[in-house]
Amino acid sequence: MLLFLHLFRKVTLIGIIYDLFIADKICLCISPLLLAEYYNVLERPKFAQFYEFAAKAKVVLANIEVKATIYQPRITLNIIADKDDNKILELADICEADFIITGNTNDFTFPEYKQTKIVTPKDYWEIHRPA
């Protein structure tokens, strides 16, 4: 199974990352552009109010960077109004992801992109999680 996670949206993602990804039950796909964006997001002042959040999240990202499958998207899309979120679709396209798991229901208002289902972390955990 190929999988891409939209990080920092729901606590359930931590369970997905540690219980499934670290245990080799799923394959997580990432692109260099998305990884860089996640590191940049952690530098935003709004995260400074949460004790050690950025430091802990950087450890998670470092683990993902080492273990995930890295893809370099070959297309540029302009489907979602938030331009940065198009990078997620571009990645799903190149890695032929089964799922995009995201809590961003404001921008991901459609149930699938090509062969990739778009689900919330809760729905993935409760309905699609591998045994």
Place of tokens 């799903």: 92
Tokens linked to 119: 């689900």
- pLDDT tens for the chain, residues 1 to 131: 344 454 444 445 666 776 777 778 888 899 999 999 888 888 888 878 888 888 888 888 888 889 999 999 999 999 999 888 999 999 999 999 999 988 888 999 999 999 999 998 888 888 888 87
Phi, psi for residue 96 in degrees, rounded to 5: 50, 50
pTM over 0.85: no
Task: Report the domain count for the chain.
Answer: 1
Q: Which domain holds residue 7?
A: 2-128
Q: What is the DSSP string of 17-77?
A: IIIIITTTSSEEEE-HHHHHHHHHHTTSHHHHTSTTHHHHHHHHHHHHHHHSEE-------
Q: Which CA distances in Å does 46 have to 41, 43, 50, 53? A: 10, 9, 8, 11
Give the CATH number for residue 110. 3.40.50.1010
